[in-house]
Chains A and B, each alone.
Chain A
């Protein structure tokens, strides 16, 4: 097998034996759980589109290891064109799903590890890259979804890992054995964790010598003994348990995050890609972060959906010709396409690393992600402005379909005469979903904190900007020697 279909992907998840908790109870059937399933549908879309001729040019690539056609989410970027297509793939899937499709974090982990393991081996004569390439081939051949796990729970942010009151606040090695290591810790906010076949763990911060036991990177099957998942709540999540579909906003897709606990988990050596090389922790974190900040091209696709919904709501309300409405829609498009500019630019200005992997321009990737921490919020504000307050005050679908009060809703929530009231309610629910509901977790808060909070990008921007050259240019023009 090289590429799975969406159906094969779903079946492959059923074969996993994940330990998943939600609302205090173990979920026995993860795939069919009504709260989790929309997120599985979104990942399944990455498989479905790769098998469709009208999308395969973006969704697939040629493996540099085997020469086989592979899903781009398992590919190591071999050219600028690959980097650009990755950005385009994000927009495509964001628009198709209207949510986070969860698979980019694994792709970004693979690419960052390909470069870092190569560089560790070059310095220390280790064999991490050989192990990693073997693992990558396994991932590609089986078309696996990987959860990239970076964010430790971190405890007291003012203290390094080795000074934490509880040493498990950062993932660390608790025992070194002949055949592998035992690790303990937890990774928070893990997107798509229970829809993944594999989990790839990396350090979350730059580490120093006293923290070398925390300098660990590895990959494991997601159902390895000792790993437990606790599903995070999302605003309006239990609407998925209600009868009907209108109040969900997005009928088909969603995202999820989980706290992933590693309780004394064994990792065999052939799955270890960094062990105590603390001096490469910063590189791995930065390379993963830059790739993942590029990945926020997906929010442009979700933005496409929000713009389409706002325009539709305006038309249903009969206000689409008002000049201020037209201007607000233009502003939404301006913001959205500005985001796309950054996603394309950081890819187009990428370069080849010693490992042969192509890497994004880190300054532009961080500028792009910094914009992503802001623009979706403004776009959400504009969409809510256009939609009107009804978006947040609509009674339920059950009321709309009630024999007694439904007629009143149908009558008084009517907008334009030729548009059914139900259509108006549905589009308003979609805007609610994206800006206040389950999808807002991904469209807004994930835009803020995913791939690093805003300050992380500002630190990188300050590191990457060539200030001396800017000063030289300024001084030359005004006659300063």
Chain B
């Protein structure tokens, strides 16, 4: 559980990209879409930032080679395609108790 259902605080999500050698979708555009969809619920910050409660790993393909070794013990979500982004949006919305809009 990343978010409390009754909280109105914006959650800091550490954004970690893979290197993007041969991505199968536009990772930056998807992150922008996620950010807009979760406005007010999450804010993306550098993964090494203070107060990060969740790491979102945005991987360009299913190889998912981003180095996540620095985030051991933290809650991590891994996205490898656009559908994964939509699932992440739904999960955060469900946890924060808001309906899809």
Contact = CB atoms under 8 A, between A and B. Distances in A.
Report if A and B associate in a common complex.
Answer: yes
A227 interface: no
A268 B67 CA distance: 40
Contacts of A89: 19, 21
A58 B66 CA distance: 8
Contact of A57 (B17, B28, B46): B17
A58 B15 contact: no
Contacts of B27: 54
Contacts of B12: none
Contacts of A53: 15, 17, 46
Interface in A84-99: 84-85, 88-89, 91-92, 95
B15 A57 contact: no
A59 B19 CA distance: 7
Contact of A91 (B15, B18, B22, B28): B22
A81 B67 contact: yes
Interface residues of A, number: 16
A95 B23 CA distance: 11
A344 B23 CA distance: 16
A270 interface: no
Contacts, number: 44
A88 B15 CA distance: 21
Nearest to B16: A57
A115 B64 CA distance: 31
B26 to A, nearest CB: 10
A59 B46 CA distance: 17
B17 A55 contact: yes
Interface in B15-44: 15-22, 27-28
Interface residues of B, number: 15
A57 B22 contact: no
A58 B22 contact: no
A81 B66 CA distance: 11
A54 B46 CA distance: 11
Q: Which of B21, B27, B28, B65 has the most CB of A within 10 A?
A: B21
A304 B65 CA distance: 20
A57 B66 CA distance: 6
Interface string A51-90: 0011111110000000000000000000001001100110
Given A54-B27, A54-B28, A57-B66, A85 B19 contact: yes
Interface of B: 15-22, 27-28, 46, 58, 65-67
18 contacts: A53-B15, A54-B17, A54-B20, A55-B20, A56-B19, A57-B17, A57-B18, A57-B66, A58-B19, A81-B67, A85-B19, A88-B21, A88-B22, A88-B65, A89-B19, A89-B21, A91-B22, A304-B22
Given A54-B20, A54-B27, A57-B18, 13 more contacts: A53-B17, A54-B28, A55-B17, A55-B19, A57-B19, A58-B19, A59-B19, A81-B67, A84-B65, A85-B65, A92-B19, A92-B20, A304-B22
